[in-house]
Structure 1
C-alpha cells in the first residue's frame, strides 16, 4: 500500500489529468493514452512536494456559497469595468492602491484570496506584507476606501477564515 501511495500520491488528480488530456486530444489512441498516463502519473509525483500538509476545510458547507459569490462578483465587476471603460472620456475612474489589513493567516486561504482578487475585474493583488498582516491591492475604481476595505473583508476574507481557520 505504501509503494502504491508513493507511485500515485494523488489518485483523483491523476485520473482527472488523464481524462482532461484525452478530452483535449479529442480521441483515444494508444499514443494519446500513453502520453496521458505518463502525465497523469508524473505530474502529481513532481508536484507532491508542493502540497501543503495539515490544511483542511473547517467549513466545507461554505465553499459552494463562496464560489457562487465570487462567480457573481466576476460578472458584476466585468460590467462595472466595461461601463467605466466606455465612460472614460467623461468620467475617469478613481483608481488607487488600497491597503487591506488581514486577519487571514492560512497559506491556502491566502492563496485563494490571491486567486479571487486576480479573477475579479477591477482588482489586482499587488503585495502581501512580510508578516502577512496587510495586503496591497490596486483597485480600478474606489469611491470610499473604508467602504471598499469593509466590503472586501466581509465578502472574501471572512468566509475564507471560516473555511480554512
Structure 2
C-alpha cells in the first residue's frame, strides 16, 4: 500500500483542497482530485524528502502560540508605522544574524515564521557561514533583533528539531 500512497496525509489534504476549491463533491471531482492527489504523492516520493524528526512535540504548540502573538503584535506595530505618516523607510535596514540552527526543517520553519511576521523578510541564508540576512522595516536596535530571533525562535526550533 505504501507504493500506492507514499504520502497519504498529503494525498488526503490535496483531495480535500481540490474539492473545496471546486466547491463540489460530485463523482467527477472526487475521481479527478483523487488522481491528482495520487500523482502528487508519487511526485513527492521521487523527490525523497527527508522526514522530519520531532524531539519535543509539546514545544511546537508553545512556539505556535508565541508566533501567533508575535504576528498580531507585528501587525499593530507596522500599522502604527504606516499611520504615523513619518517618512517611509527611515529605520528600514538589513541585519546579519549568526545561526546555530542547521536542521533544514528547522530553518524552513524559521523562514516561514520570519516571513509571515509583518515588517520582516528572510532575504538570504548562507549555509557555509551559518548566517541569516534579514530585512527589518523598523530597525532601531540590531542587538534586540538578534536576541529576538536567536532566543525566541531559534532556541525553540532547536528544541524541536535538533
TM-score (norm 2): 0.92
User: What's the CA shift for 1:25?
Assistant: 1.9
Q: How many angstroms does 1:132 deviate by?
A: 5.1
Matches within 5 A, 1:1-165: 4-89=1-86, 93-131=90-128, 133-165=130-162
Quote how far apart the aligned CAs of 1:91 are.
Answer: 8.0
Count of aligned pairs between the two proteins: 162
Write the deviation string for residues 23-80 of structure 1: whole angstroms up to 9, x where unpaired.
2222211211111111211111112244532530011111111111111111110110
SS of the residue corresponding to residue 49 of structure 2 reads coil
Query: How far, CA to CA, are the matches of 2:113 and 2:85 in structure 1?
Result: 25
In the aligned structure 2, how far is the partner of 1:75 from the partner of 1:146? 22
Once residues 94 and 148 of structure 1 are traced to their aligned partners in structure 2, the CA distance between those partners, rounded to angstroms, is: 13
Per-residue displacement from partner, 1:110-148 (whole Å, max 9, x unpaired)?
111111111001111111114151101000112211111
Instruction: Give structure 1 stretches of 5+ with no counterpart.
Output: none
> Which runs of no fewer than 5 residues in structure 2 stay unpaired?
none
Whether the 8 Å contact between 1:84 and 1:92 is mirrored in structure 2 is: no
Q: TM-score, normalised by structure 1?
A: 0.90
